Structure 1
Amino acid sequence: MEIAVYSAISAALFFDFVNGFHDSANSIATVVGTRVIRPLYAVMMAAIANFAGPFIFGTAVAATVGKGIIQPSFSTVDVIFAGLIGAIIWDLITWYFGLPSSSSHALIGGLIGSALLAGGTSALVFSGIEKTLSFIVISPTLGFVCAFGIALLVMYFFRNHTSSHVNRIFGRLQICSSIFFSLTHGANDGQKTMGVITALLIAGGMLDSHSFVVPIEVVLGAAFAIALGTFFGGWRIVKTMAFRLTNL
């Protein structure tokens, strides 16, 4: 059992690493595409922020993923391992083709799919899934509406300024937004791996099943894995985000 648990934990950390280099493009594409800072500096900045994120924002997301998607009786090592492998494969496929996709969506889908096969709909926690799926739909919609509104305001208030003046102001703001994006990415996505690893430790009998507390070793391991993945960077996806979706 211990070998199976540690193998699954290794897969979870590898998923976290892939998440880092796959999704890091989201936080640095704008500063790289507009040449605000050099790519290497952007990656280093994002890696540090991704590492710090989980320590700043707590572990609430970890609890949702660890116990709010699959019923505890079906949250076994093999079910979680299968979900992780599915998410890793999808992330690698989308990375190869330079497609920006969400590692979080892949992980949630992988866990739901493996749980359905193991126990049908009775294996799922529908309240947690509904909450998660609702925000998966709301997030891009809200992002679009807010970005559109902010862009209109910026264009209006800076309509009489030179482009060099505007670029100088918003170049600095882009760095701030990129750092905050990386912090929240590390907190949100890093926590998902923490939740999975904690669930694996509970399934393997290595943690108390009556409470869901993420050990500090798990926080450190997940934070380091996503930061390391970010440092390696998914340049295929950076190019797509910075130059193929829009002409930054």
Structure 2
Amino acid sequence: MAGELKDNRGRGIGEWSFPPVHPEGRRFGLLALAIALVVLFLVDWEFLGWPLLALTGGVFAFFRDPERVVPQGERLIVAPADGMVSLITKVAPPPELQGPDDQGRPGLGSEPVTRISIFMSVFDVHINRAPVGGTIRRIAYVPGRFLNADLDKASEENERQHILIEKADGAPVGFTQIAGLVARRIVPFVKPGDIVAAGQRVGLIRFGSRVDVYLPIGTDPKVLPGQRMIAGETVLAEIGAIALIEGVAQ
């Protein structure tokens, strides 16, 4: 029927439904549910059981994994994480991503580039996605501290995992998953050599964290600090496009 609304898979009338829970989080949700039911019905501590049951819903919500519609364009860099842009600054890329690898494939170099930091609160979706399509060339895990991920120094001091993707044209794009104050584990879904599409799921960070994206030289951001990001959908930048933007208060 002309004008009929459809969802992003072309099925029926578009309507809201609770997103599926990622398999990585199901065991945490079921464990929390079991504890809540034991406390509520076996121990009969209602004052504690009901809050635990509410917490169970929060655990399932934390690991929700909604579908995303990824913008198409070879030069587009999309947000790898849900959350708020907490910082945009010029920095040298992480040492782990700077030089060529053992096969001579280039890294990001040592010249300062624009870094976009996206802070994820415990209320955001925590599935991280590839900012560009290409081949995973490098994954470097660095142990560290668990400072507030909203702090600038978290990029150098917190537990983190650097990922380098080589696009089809050979250009490298890097990003970093950073554990936060509450987060205690970075979970990868990919390994070196894997081919990923832009917006494809590549990992998650449990319970509050941050993701940094390093834009190629000669590329300006299309987002501003304080702006909300949707992983796999929001366009962070267009490679080679230099066009600074200004926010407008409304």
Q: TM-score, normalised by structure 2?
A: 0.22
Query: Comparing both chains, which one has the higher relative contact order based on Cα–Cα distances under 8 Å and sequence gaps of 6 or more?
Result: 1
User: TM-score normalised to the size of structure 1?
Assistant: 0.23
